Amino acid sequence: MDPSMKKRKADENGTVITDGTTGLLTPIDVGKIIESFTQEQLVDILQIAATRHLDVLESIRSIADRDPAQRKLFIRGLGWDTTTEGLRSLFSAYGELEEAVVILDKTTGKSKGYGFITFKHIDGALLALKEPSKKIDGRMTVTQIAAAGVSGPTAIPPSGD
């Protein structure tokens, strides 16, 4: 088929072929097109775009990563001999870490049974949360978003000290 024929047919249908150069639509024009979309439609489009285009994923990450509460995880049920290095080693498989710490008893120097992980990017936290129960140093632990806290009848009220 003659390439000029393809171009002419596309033009007749209102399709714009840019040959890799910048398109004719500005961000404002695109905004006018999508302003009537529902939130669900926009989320669907963004999900597909982010998995196909790394620049879109990076834009989403740059906004989502601003809130450290969504990147910080609380891990409970750790063994007394679990170390910060061990925790860091396990969770670094899910993404780049900003911080990892096992909370230690001041007098014994042993783990109090819990710790925190903060990922550099929110997707690391999401990947780690896909499997909230993890076996660490022979013990089953539970991982959750740190800001979520514990609620319900088993919640321990905060102490005054």
Q: What average pLDDT does the structure give for the chain? A: 83
Axis crossing angle, helix 54-64 with helix 39-52, rounded to the nearest 10? 120
**Residue partners of 42: CB distance under 8 A and separation at least 6:** 34
Query: Among 156, 154, 129, which Cα is nearest to 75's?
Result: 129
What structural domains does the chain harbor? 27-65 (no CATH), 68-148 (3.30.70.330)
Structure confidence by residue, pLDDT tens digits, 103-152: 999 999 899 999 999 999 999 999 999 999 999 999 999 999 998 654 44
